[in-house]
């Protein structure tokens, strides 16, 4: 089939998908009563286990004086091992947990101090010359990996939630700044995706900025590269990044920016077109013609994440039909 025929077929499938999406009955969803939720989830236990019995120790032990978050700790909460590095993934994700802990604690000053130190360290990982954040640095901010890829989402995500819970506009401005940098330099239609060299002049090897070693500050695990973690994308293709979508939702929550919401809704319009209604799956990797590539079950954790994020998007104002798409993901 020639390129023209492929484009026509893709267009027909897109129209069919849109019809399938609109055929889903729009519903008004209401939150379950607290009494019903309490039958299944012990909130007091969750709060004690995750905050008092765990996160309190991280706040006390992992944040170094300059704000670097040391993730490798032994059973006595002391630094373990010899390799030390900061990644926007590790620094950002732990920073996010501090923000949620601060929110759940009702404003514990210990959390606020840890947040400010850690967020300020993350801000120093920004590449002021070309934009975006260095993927990995040493604890004294010497650059280890200068690629700019999907992990940029964790800078937006963490800074947005820090801004939301602390009401500090400086962090909201920083999150919006990198959103605009990536929107300009990493745009694939409505999506922000790809893995680029430091100056965004061309693609970088996906394993460098997206694989093992970028998640924390220990040694890279075997099979930690892009393929080992279930990410697949054909050359010249497209990718739906679950974490970038998560970051956009967090940024909208923090800023209520119409520009950010327009990005979210444009992404969701594409999701409705490429969703596999036959098996109930939202693929993350596509070829140049938006044909899904890879095994639908390659990353089952993302099936849960997409369901959660689509639900949250509906909470924020998206079409309620996306709840059913998330339900189908869970069924799969």
Rounded distance, CA 21 to CA 9, Å?
Answer: 18
Q: Enter the tokens of residue 88.
A: 């926007």
Q: Between helices 109-124 and 88-105, what is the axis angle to 10°?
A: 160
SS3 46: helix
Average pLDDT over residues 188-198: 92
Contact 9, 1 (CB under 8 A): yes
Kindly tell me the number of DSSP H helices and DSSP E strands found in the chain. Answer: 13, 7
The answer regarding whether domain 48-256 maps to CATH 1.10.10.10 reads no
Tens of pLDDT, residue by residue over 46-60, are 989 988 899 999 999
Per-residue pLDDT at 286 exceeds 50: yes
Q: What is the pLDDT of residue 227?
A: 41
Residue 161: enclosing H or E segment and its boundaries? Answer: helix 153-166
Tens of pLDDT, residue by residue over 100-114, are 999 999 999 999 999
Average pLDDT over residues 218-246: 62
Rounded distance, CA 37 to CA 31, Å?
Answer: 10
Per-residue pLDDT at 68 exceeds 60: yes
Where does residue 24 rank: exposed (0-12), middle (13-18), buried (19+ CB within 10 A)?
A: middle
Q: What is the pLDDT of residue 144?
A: 96
Domain extents in the chain: 1-41+262-332, 48-256
Rounded distance, CA 171 to CA 197, Å?
Answer: 25
Q: Which of 16-25, 134-143, 152-161 has the lowest mean pLDDT?
A: 16-25
Contact 67, 118 (CB under 8 A): yes
Contact 283, 274 (CB under 8 A): yes
Check: pTM over 0.85? Answer yes or no: yes
Residue with tokens 């490429």: 274
Q: What is the pLDDT of residue 30?
A: 86
């Amino acid at each position: 089939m020639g390129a023209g025929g492929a484009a026509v077929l893709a267009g027909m499938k897109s129209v069919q998908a849109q019809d399938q999406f609109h055929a889903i009955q729009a519903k008004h969803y209401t939150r379950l009563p607290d009494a019903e939720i309490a039958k299944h989830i012990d909130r007091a236990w969750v709060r004690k286990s995750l905050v008092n019995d765990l996160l309190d120790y991280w706040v006390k032990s992992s944040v170094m004086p300059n704000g670097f978050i040391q993730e490798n700790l032994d059973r006595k909460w002391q630094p373990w091992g010899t390799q030390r590095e900061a990644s926007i993934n590790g620094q950002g994700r732990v920073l996010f947990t501090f923000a949620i802990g601060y929110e759940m604690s009702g404003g514990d000053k210990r959390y606020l101090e840890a947040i400010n130190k850690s967020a300020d360290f993350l801000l120093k990982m920004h590449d002021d010359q070309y934009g975006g954040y260095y993927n990995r640095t040493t604890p004294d901010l010497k650059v280890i990996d200068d690629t700019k890829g999907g992990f940029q989402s964790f800078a937006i995500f963490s800074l947005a939630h820090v801004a939301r819970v602390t009401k500090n506009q400086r962090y909201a401005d920083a999150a919006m700044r990198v959103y605009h940098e990536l929107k300009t330099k990493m745009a694939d239609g409505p999506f922000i995706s790809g893995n680029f060299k430091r100056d965004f002049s061309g693609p970088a090897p996906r394993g460098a900025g997206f694989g093992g070693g970028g998640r924390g500050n220990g040694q890279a695990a075997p099979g930690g590269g892009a393929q080992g973690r279930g990410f697949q994308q054909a050359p010249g293709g497209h990718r739906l990044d679950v974490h970038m979508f998560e970051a956009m939702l967090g940024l909208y929550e923090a800023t209520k920016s119409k520009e950010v919401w327009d990005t979210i809704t444009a992404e969701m319009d594409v999701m409705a077109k490429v969703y596999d209604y036959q098996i109930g799956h939202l693929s993350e990797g596509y070829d140049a013609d938006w044909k899904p590539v890879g095994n639908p079950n390659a990353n089952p954790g993302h099936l849960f994440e997409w369901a959660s994020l689509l639900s949250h998007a509906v909470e924020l104002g998206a079409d309620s039909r996306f709840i059913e798409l998330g339900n189908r993901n869970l069924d799969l």
